[in-house]
Amino acid sequence: MRKVCTKILNITGNVVTVKADGIAYEELAQISTQRGSSLAQVIRLDGGLVHLQVFAGARGVSTGDEVLFLGHPMRVGFSYDMLGRIFSGSGEPRDNGPAIKDNEIEIAGPAANPSKRVIPSNMVRTNIPMIDVFNSLVESQKLPIFSVSGEPYDELLARIALQAEVDIILLGGIGLKYDQYMYFKNTLEEGGALSRTIFFVHTAADPIVEGLMVPDLTLAVAEKFALDGKKVLVLLTDMTNFADALKEIAITMEQVPSNRGYPGDLYSQLAARYEKAVDFEGAGSITILAVTTMPGDDVTHPVPDNTGYITEGQFYLRNGRIEPFGSLSRLKQLVNKNTRKDHRAVMDGMIQLYAQYKETEEKRSMGFRMSDWDKKLLKYGDLFEKEMMDLKVNIPLEKALDNGWRILADCFNPEETNFRTELVKEFWPNK
Amino acid sequence: MSKQKGEIIAINSNMIRVRFKDDIMQNEVAYVISGPKRLKAEVIKIRGDTAFLQVFEYTKGIKVGDNVEFSGKMLSVQLGPGLLAQIYDGLQNSLPDLAEEFGFFLPAGVELDAIDQKQNWLFTPLAKKGDKVTAGSVLGFVPEGIFQHKIMVPFYLNEEYVVEDVKGKGEYNVNEKIAVLKSAKGKEIDVTMMFEWPVKIPIDAYKEKMQPTESLITKIRIIDTLFPIAKGGTYCIPGPFGAGKTVLQQITSRHADVDIVIVAACGERAGEVVETLKEFPKLTDPRTGKSLMERTIIICNTSSMPVAAREASVYTASTIAEYYRQMGLNVLLLADSTSRWAQAMREISGRLEEIPGEEAYPAYLESRIASFYERAGVVKLHDGAMGSLTIGGTVSPAGGNFEEPVTQGTLKVVGAFHGLSRERADARKFPSVNPLESWSKYKNFIDDELVNRAKAILKQGEEVDQMMKVVGEEGTNLEDFLIFLKSAFLDGIYLQQNGFDEVDAATTGERQKYVFEKIDTILQKEFSFKDKTQARQFFYALRHKFIDWNYIKWDSDKFKSQEKEIDNFLGTGKVLMQAEQNI
């Protein structure tokens, strides 16, 4: 029994209001307008009034248009036939292929029970020393890439996607530029990964509300694959666009804004998505990498700030390099104890020295005389940036650790570093 | 109160408006009947014949017109034997039990018993017929893991009673009558080993609250030595993301010198809770030789779980903590993070359309924070025994800026402040507690004179460091440079600690005292170096030796030989330098 309304009472922003009874919270409806039809979702119920956010936007919606309630919340089809396919932000095919209607699943399902999770223990090797050595990526981790427009974050995302050993890749694009979308498609195709990839793409040209659904669609499908025992890598770009869509709806609904116009539940909203990253006991896993562009390169902006509190670390991409300061993988301690016994020591020791190099560089730029120690640090910093930080470097972890010791020995005596005598004896290269 | 019914008239996310008849109570628990599901909710505002309820579950699928059933009770927890080693959600449902019944995901609208109703406990009576008792008086005990779990007169019985009957030693479950009490008016009351208590009301079945004086050793050097915590005190750890708040809490939960640790994971990452709940059963508690889990209770409401239950979870945790304090135990409650709890209040407040305060937090934010921390304290019980509840909360300030309302509201009420700094975390100096900003009002177990001297050196060292950034190293005299080196030395080998090394992660109070005294002699020592390079080399070499020392087990032969090496080095260094000076 589907309910129909033919009178729209209010239209504000992308939210329309109708009068209807017996409608469930978050139920889906279809609005037929002159331009075609669009899905809409119930976002508030007040007495007999029903507020709906219209995915295609309220532009051109007439007060006389028909609203058909579908009697169920948002769903997405799930099938292995989806591999290699491209869908829109409302789950419709974008690639002229058939719609996937069998086996529909609800999106934004309940949270996983923490006691059914396992402690993540598999390192995802990327062959990027700044990740593998200093901030190892771990299966089931959720990690954002903090960046600003113009940085090669798409390239980084694509490179990790191609090199990571996973069964299925899901790409959720929110507010993607068309050429970004083509870049991902072509790169994954050339790398031979297209047949294990599913795209949910909302481009900048699509209505903004449609972008809101992308993370939920992507993650609902990912979750099904993970329950089926698959290792899934979810790439989301750009989550700042997602947060901005949330803000727009919140303001339209006259919610009290908390910080720079963003709603007070921004944290919970982002967390509900990121927390889908999981390693299920006795099944598969979901790893999430999400680009978050920082407006004005400001990490204290509410979107990167809330994200940082939710995710298990972050990669800062700046000047085409992954910054050693600020970048962090919280889960690295779970995997870097099992790689090589000097891994942790090299990781901490090299960064501490690089921090000192940065201070010295500051002094130099202010014109101070450089002491012998300063000169050593300057040499070290140069080598470090060239052989470790450059994103072009593509070497396995063990090679990168060896290079680390070589750089250290090139620049310092063992006692000038922080390494334990035991490690120095074993790893310090003899000249 | 009989069960009242109501009807939903509006839904806005997890807040619903309900029209009701007759009487309902503020903070009363109600259930939304949606098909087969019963979603738990709490009354948070009453206006005429409409009540505002926060729903503890996701509200997807509920409708205007759905029925609501009021329970007549406030939000409560079950108290009794069997709480230890449990992993609960914010409303005291056991997560492993939910997993067993419902699989990978958390079901909506399910309520389980927090305490196993069938398990038998060996009860030993302590009270006798004719004894006069009040709320909190001990009637007997049962063994629960490593503790004697005291069976007490339920805290809601607020008169004086005479014991009419106590069961003899034997096995009983939590629902069996173990005693009968008689009030002055002659009313007989049956007592079982389990009872309920509303979470938002502090338990006060003790004689008096005392001043916290005894140090609580966390085995984290920078905290114990410089900014100590007291048993029964409160402290907070604000810090930007990535500064290591959670790691610090985890290390504390492992090593802290208390009887029971309650971890309230409030609105944070599920992965971190998983680490605790999978690893603790495998770790042994050095104090008891038993599994760490036996002294731990985890209340876990992670960030993707419903927001209203997050608000409830810190109260659930403090109520259980207070319950164990009543048994004369030292309890530590770690709340991570109180900001998420405050944000949950903000979300609800926004949906109630209350006038927002700073950063849209409700106006009552500060008083709520204050009353939460006030639940800590050392108490003298009716039988003269002492119990304590220490509360440590992390704060996650937006943008890492401590000026925001939650940090400021917290700083007003806590006894110690361990501020984490991004600069220290970026430079991999862990724990990243900032020694220049942090403070503690509690008494130290190490001599104040030594501590103040160390703090002074750190402060001067920072000043010299700042100055060097302006005038450069060459513009700094050797004397100042030495202060800088001493300060960096103290920081590098004492304040920093490797939380992932078995030995270095936990430094006992005894060892701290011993090592810190040695460091003090170095800090006080007059050195005469030829130039800055020589001074730097000397201190770097010394640092190296101390770092090696930190990794060696206390009181082992290696520990002593390494100490000798340090002493020799200090001696020869002096000789060497004097010799060079003479030339």
d(CA A399, CA A90): 45
Tokens of B328: 């004369």
What dihedral angle (degrees, nearest 10) is formed by the CA atoms of B521, B526, B527, B532?
A: 110
Q: How many helices (H) and strands (E) does chain B have?
A: 14, 28
Residues of chain A contacting B302 with CB distance shorter than 8 Å: 111, 114, 275
pLDDT at B246 over 90: no
pLDDT at B123 over 50: yes
User: What was the pLDDT predicted at A321?
Assistant: 92
For chains A and B, CB pairs below 8 A equal 221
Tokens of A395: 């070497």
What number is the average pLDDT over the span B508-515? 96
User: What was the pLDDT predicted at A84?
Assistant: 93
Of residues B64, B274, B492, nearest to A119 (C-beta): B274
d(CA B33, CA B63): 10
Q: Say if the Cβ atoms of A113 and B105 lie within 8 Å.
A: yes
What number is the average pLDDT over the span B311-332? 96
Mutation pick from A23, A75, A116 vs chain B, by most beta carbons of B within 10 Å, is A116
Provide the residue type at A30 as one letter. Q
**CA atoms A349, A350, A354, A357: torsion sign:** positive
pLDDT at B418 over 80: yes
Q: Say if the Cβ atoms of B472 and A368 lie within 8 Å.
A: yes
Q: Say if the Cβ atoms of B270 and A117 lie within 8 Å.
A: yes
Instruction: Please check whether the domain covering B448-582 is classified as CATH 3.40.50.720.
Output: no
pLDDT at A431 over 70: no
pLDDT at A129 over 60: yes
Which strand (E) or helix (H) includes residue A137? strand A137-138
Q: Say if the Cβ atoms of B427 and A111 lie within 8 Å.
A: no
Residues of chain A contacting B536 with CB distance shorter than 8 Å: 373
Report the percent of chain B where pLDDT is more than 70. Answer: 98
Q: Where are the domains of chain A?
A: 4-73, 76-335, 343-427
> What is the number of alpha carbons within 13 Å of residue B542 lying toward its C-beta?
25
Burial of A127 (0-12, 13-18, 19+ CB in 10 A): middle
Of residues A111, A118, A328, nearest to B304 (C-beta): A111
Closest chain B residue to A345 measured between Cα atoms?
Answer: B498
d(CA A193, CA A191): 6
Domain with CATH 2.40.50.100 in chain B: 121-193
d(CA B463, CA B489): 15
d(CA B486, CA B580): 21
Find all residues with CB under 8 Å of A57, minimum gap 6, and list them.
A14, A38, A207, A208, A209
Mutation pick from B57, B241, B339, B351 vs chain A, by most beta carbons of A within 10 Å, is B241
Residue B207 to chain A, least CA–CA distance (Å): 40
Which strand (E) or helix (H) includes residue B485? helix B478-490
How many other CB atoms are found less than 10 A from the CB of residue B281? 13
Residues of chain A contacting B540 with CB distance shorter than 8 Å: 415-416
Q: Say if the Cβ atoms of A373 and B533 lie within 8 Å.
A: yes
Domain with CATH 3.40.50.300 in chain B: 210-440
Residue A239 to chain B, least CA–CA distance (Å): 17
pLDDT at A66 over 80: yes
Average pLDDT, chain A: 92
More confident residue, B381 or B270: B381
> Looking up tokens 């009968």, which residue turns up?
B180
pLDDT at B468 over 80: yes
d(CA B446, CA B454): 12
Residue range B5-74, CATH number = 2.40.10.170
User: What was the pLDDT predicted at B574?
Assistant: 54
Residues of chain A contacting B300 with CB distance shorter than 8 Å: 114
Tokens of A318: 């700046």
B281-296 residue pLDDT tens: 888 887 788 899 999 9
What number is the average pLDDT over the span B304-310? 89
The yes-or-no answer to whether A4-73 and A76-335 have a common fold is no
Mark which residues 242-281 of A lie under 8 Å from B by CB.
255-259, 263-265, 267-268, 271-272, 275-276, 278, 280
Give whole-number Cα distances, B346 to A28, A311, B200, B574, in Å.
28, 22, 18, 61
Which strand (E) or helix (H) includes residue B490? helix B478-490
Instruction: Please check whether the domain covering B210-440 is classified as CATH 3.40.50.300.
Output: yes
pLDDT at A241 over 90: yes
User: What was the pLDDT predicted at B579?
Assistant: 43
The answer to whether the CB of A320 falls within 8 A of the CB of A281 is no
Find all residues with CB under 8 Å of B544, minimum gap 6, and list them.
A415, A418, A421
What are the DSSP calls for A228-286, one per residue?
TT-EEEEEEE-HHHHHHHHHHHHHHTTPPEEETTEETTHHHHHHHHHTT-EEBTTS-EE
What number is the average pLDDT over the span B52-75? 93
- The confidence band for B572, taking pLDDT boundaries of 50, 70 and 90, is low
Residue A336 to chain B, least CA–CA distance (Å): 11
Query: Radius of gyration over alpha carbons of chain A, in Å?
Result: 25
User: What was the pLDDT predicted at A256?
Assistant: 84
* A9 near B CB under 8 A: no
User: What was the pLDDT predicted at A220?
Assistant: 96
Instruction: Identify any residues that bridge with A5 across adjacent strands, giving them in sequence order.
Output: A67
Q: What CATH architecture is B121-193?
A: Beta Barrel (2.40)
A269-308 residue pLDDT tens: 999 999 999 999 999 999 999 999 999 899 889 999 999 9
| Check: complex ipTM more than 0.90 | no
A14-35 residue pLDDT tens: 999 999 999 999 999 999 999 8
- The confidence band for B578, taking pLDDT boundaries of 50, 70 and 90, is very low
The answer to whether the CB of B150 falls within 8 A of the CB of B169 is no
Domain with CATH 1.10.1140.10 in chain B: 448-582
d(CA B307, CA B317): 16
d(CA A136, CA A322): 13
Residue B468 to chain A, least CA–CA distance (Å): 9
Residue range A76-335, CATH number = 3.40.50.12240
Average pLDDT, chain B: 92
User: What was the pLDDT predicted at B278?
Assistant: 86
The answer to whether the CB of A322 falls within 8 A of the CB of A316 is yes
Residues of chain B contacting A114 with CB distance shorter than 8 Å: 87, 95, 270, 273-274, 277, 300, 302
DSSP state of B352: T
Residues of chain B contacting A351 with CB distance shorter than 8 Å: 427-428
**CA atoms B489, B492, B497, B500: torsion sign:** negative
Of residues B240, B473, B547, nearest to A371 (C-beta): B473
Which strand (E) or helix (H) includes residue A191? none
Q: Say if the Cβ atoms of B269 and A300 lie within 8 Å.
A: no
User: What was the pLDDT predicted at A254?
Assistant: 86
B170-229 residue pLDDT tens: 999 999 999 999 999 999 999 999 999 999 999 999 999 999 999 999 999 999 999 999
Residue range A4-73, CATH number = 2.40.10.170
B550-570 residue pLDDT tens: 999 998 999 999 999 999 998
Tokens of B287: 């104090």
The answer to whether the CB of B489 falls within 8 A of the CB of B202 is no
The answer to whether the CB of B218 falls within 8 A of the CB of B249 is no
A355: nearest Cα among A390, A380, A332, A388: A380
What number is the average pLDDT over the span B514-536? 93
What number is the average pLDDT over the span A145-157? 92
Q: Say if the Cβ atoms of A308 and B242 lie within 8 Å.
A: yes
Q: Say if the Cβ atoms of B359 and A258 lie within 8 Å.
A: yes
- The confidence band for B399, taking pLDDT boundaries of 50, 70 and 90, is confident
What number is the average pLDDT over the span A243-261? 89
pLDDT at B576 over 60: no
Burial of B47 (0-12, 13-18, 19+ CB in 10 A): exposed
User: What was the pLDDT predicted at B582?
Assistant: 43
User: What was the pLDDT predicted at B1?
Assistant: 46
Phi, psi of A238 (to 5 degrees): -120, 130
The answer to whether the CB of B60 falls within 8 A of the CB of B306 is no
d(CA B538, CA B528): 11
> Looking up tokens 């002094």, which residue turns up?
A363
Residues of chain B contacting A264 with CB distance shorter than 8 Å: 343, 346-347, 350, 360
Mark which residues 175-214 of A lie under 8 Å from B by CB.
none
How many other CB atoms are found less than 10 A from the CB of residue B52? 21
- The confidence band for A1, taking pLDDT boundaries of 50, 70 and 90, is low
A270: nearest Cα among A251, A248, A292: A292
Report the percent of chain A where pLDDT is more than 70. Answer: 100
pLDDT at A246 over 50: yes
